[in-house]
């Protein structure tokens, strides 16, 4: 007798594919931070801290471009094809990084890899939220997004084992594995978005996917409207109530990206400067990533119960407190606790904000909202590593490496207060004035 797979389990498999992709996304971004000490010591390239910070930003500049492209490419390719394209693209570019003969080409390949990486997370979030049970969407999004931190842990642990013995190149060569292991699985089993199929008028295909994965069918009448394209897809975001909310989300996520990428890129080198050997310095990055995973799980559980706005506010405050603690030169045991809390306040908060964006905006503008907001947020990811590199190159006391991220964390807490108190946007036909006032006084 052949066992039947329930729709819920099929939806879980979609989330699992997205989770694994985000694990590699996290690995490919954080691996650079683990290799900075080795890159600074690699004599043929002769890099200094400021140059290393600039190279770190190249991948994030690529991600900005990739996120922007993904918002429009979704309408042309669909989420499934875009997801597969992004995986194959960044895998090949990571292999090119491993083979790069010069720092110039290495930086170019990091930029190109970033373009592919920029398309992974918004597409993975949108797919995970769509195929998750409605009452578990914050939790599903958070668990999937925590794959980034799992990838960061893998990069850190492998760095401890690999870098001192074999150098930095094998660390980047590992980034080709998604092309070999994940892309074939996703090609065979990842479904196309029901929202996308409906928007294209492919109602027969959409119904088949919806019934197979337990998604309510038929969709609401508003969801049957053709998907807006180009500038028309962005137009609703520039009108109330979406304009103000999108702007606040963009600033909050920008700050969270500055915190995450600035601290995770430079934490190993900061700890090396503080006198820790490479293995111990990388273990702090493992602790930060572990805090991000645990924090995302607990915070998402709370977000489904008390609302994501309150949880994101608490996350930024935890991040600010951890930076104060790190700057005080505490004993090693307390230092590890502070680094764990930094993971909670950085990555954990970002996961909650991403899930909040995906669940607040309605399906007709969800892809455009995620793409546009994450594009703005990438500027924070670009600035963070550069800021850390400038501070490191200035030769100031170690505690200033933490002060530079403290003020943004406090600013993030203030911005979150302006986010909507409601968990979703008002339905069509509900008066917008009352909702806008509620957002403005949140």
Predicted confidence at residue 92, as pLDDT, reads 96
Distances (CA, A) of 179 to 72, 88, 116, 314, 325: 24, 5, 12, 38, 41
Predicted confidence at residue 442, as pLDDT, reads 37
Q: Is 6 helix (H, G, I), strand (E, B) or coil?
A: coil
Interval 75-133: pLDDT, tens? 778 889 999 999 999 999 999 999 999 999 999 999 999 999 988 988 898 888 888 87
Predicted confidence at residue 233, as pLDDT, reads 58
Interval 37-70: pLDDT, tens? 899 989 999 998 888 888 988 998 998 888 878 8
- Rounded Cα gap, residues 129 and 243, in angstroms: 22
- Cβ-based neighbours of 168, under 8 Å, separated by 6 or more: 35, 38, 39, 42
Q: Structurally, what CATH architecture does the domain formed by 7-440 represent? A: Up-down Bundle (1.20)
The values of phi and psi at residue 203, to 5°, are -70, -30
- Rounded Cα gap, residues 83 and 66, in angstroms: 12
Helix, strand, coil share of the chain (percent; to 5): 85, 0, 15
Mean pLDDT of 204-217: 82
- Cβ-based neighbours of 102, under 8 Å, separated by 6 or more: 45
Interval 312-356: pLDDT, tens? 999 999 999 999 998 888 888 898 999 999 999 988 898 889 888
Residue 5 — pLDDT band, cuts 50, 70, 90? Answer: very low
Helices of type H across 274-399: 278-306, 308-327, 332-343, 349-360, 363-394
Mean pLDDT of 135-158: 84
Q: Is 273 helix (H, G, I), strand (E, B) or coil?
A: helix
Interval 243-287: pLDDT, tens? 888 889 999 999 999 998 888 888 888 887 877 776 777 888 889
pTM strictly above 0.85: no
Query: By mean pLDDT, which of 88-92, 156-160, 392-396, 428-432 is the weakest?
Result: 428-432
Considering only residues 275 and 391, tell me which one the structure prediction assigns the higher pLDDT: 391
Contact 333, 287 (CB under 8 A): no
Mean pLDDT of 215-242: 62
Interval 8-24: pLDDT, tens? 557 788 889 999 999 99
Predicted confidence at residue 230, as pLDDT, reads 53
Predicted confidence at residue 103, as pLDDT, reads 94
Contact 265, 385 (CB under 8 A): yes
User: For the chain, what is the mean pLDDT?
Assistant: 83
- Rounded Cα gap, residues 313 and 338, in angstroms: 18
pLDDT over 70, % of the chain: 86
Contact 30, 264 (CB under 8 A): yes
Predicted confidence at residue 3, as pLDDT, reads 39
Distances (CA, A) of 282 to 36, 55, 164, 349, 392: 11, 20, 12, 22, 17
Considering only residues 118 and 421, tell me which one the structure prediction assigns the higher pLDDT: 118
Residue 441 — pLDDT band, cuts 50, 70, 90? Answer: very low
- Rounded Cα gap, residues 408 and 349, in angstroms: 13
Model confidence at 439: pLDDT above 50 = no
Considering only residues 307 and 428, tell me which one the structure prediction assigns the higher pLDDT: 307
Domain boundaries, the chain: 7-440
Predicted confidence at residue 245, as pLDDT, reads 87
Predicted confidence at residue 322, as pLDDT, reads 93
Predicted confidence at residue 73, as pLDDT, reads 80
Predicted confidence at residue 91, as pLDDT, reads 95
Predicted confidence at residue 205, as pLDDT, reads 86
pLDDT over 90, % of the chain: 32
Model confidence at 437: pLDDT above 60 = no
Model confidence at 172: pLDDT above 90 = yes
């Amino acid at each position: 007798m052949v066992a039947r797979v329930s729709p819920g389990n099929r939806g879980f498999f979609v989330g699992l594919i997205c989770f694994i992709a985000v694990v590699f996304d996290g690995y490919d971004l954080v691996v650079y931070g683990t290799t900075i000490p080795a890159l600074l010591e690699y004599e043929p390239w002769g890099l200094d801290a400021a140059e290393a910070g600039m190279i770190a930003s190249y991948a994030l500049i690529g991600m900005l471009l990739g996120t922007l492209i993904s918002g429009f490419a979704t309408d042309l390719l669909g989420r499934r094809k875009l997801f597969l394209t992004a995986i194959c693209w960044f895998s090949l570019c990571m292999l090119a990084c491993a083979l790069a003969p010069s720092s110039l080409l290495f930086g170019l390949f990091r930029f190109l890899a970033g373009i592919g990486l920029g398309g992974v997370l918004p597409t993975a979030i949108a797919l995970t939220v769509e195929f998750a049970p409605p009452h578990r969407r914050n939790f599903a999004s958070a668990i999937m997004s925590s794959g980034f931190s799992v990838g960061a842990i893998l990069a850190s642990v492998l760095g401890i084992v690999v870098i001192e013995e074999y150098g930095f190149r094998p660390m980047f060569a590992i980034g080709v594995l998604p092309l070999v292991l994940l892309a074939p699985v996703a090609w065979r089993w990842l479904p196309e978005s029901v929202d996308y199929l409906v928007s294209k008028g492919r109602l027969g295909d959409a119904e088949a996917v919806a019934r197979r994965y337990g998604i309510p069918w038929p969709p609401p009448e508003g969801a049957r409207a053709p998907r807006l394209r180009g500038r028309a897809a962005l137009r609703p975001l520039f009108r109330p109530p979406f304009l103000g909310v999108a702007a606040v989300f963009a600033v909050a996520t920008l700050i969270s990206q500055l915190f995450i990428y600035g601290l995770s890129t430079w934490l190993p080198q900061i700890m090396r400067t503080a006198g820790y050997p490479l293995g111990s310095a990388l273990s702090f990055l493992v602790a930060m990533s572990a805090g991000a995973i645990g924090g995302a799980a607990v915070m998402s559980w709370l977000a489904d119960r008390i609302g994501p706005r309150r949880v994101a506010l608490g996350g930024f405050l935890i991040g600010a407190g951890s930076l104060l603690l790190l700057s005080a030169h505490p004993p090693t045991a307390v230092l590890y606790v502070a680094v764990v809390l930094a993971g909670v306040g950085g990555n954990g908060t970002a996961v909650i904000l991403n899930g909040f964006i995906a669940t607040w905006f309605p399906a007709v503008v969800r892809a455009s909202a995620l793409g546009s907001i994450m594009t703005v947020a990438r500027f924070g990811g670009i600035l963070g590593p550069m800021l850390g590199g400038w501070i490191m190159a200035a030769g100031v006391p170690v505690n200033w490496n933490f002060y530079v991220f403290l003020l943004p964390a406090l600013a993030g807490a203030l911005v979150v207060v302006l986010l909507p108190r409601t968990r979703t946007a008002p339905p069509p036909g509900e008066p917008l004035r009352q909702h806008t006032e509620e957002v403005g006084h949140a």
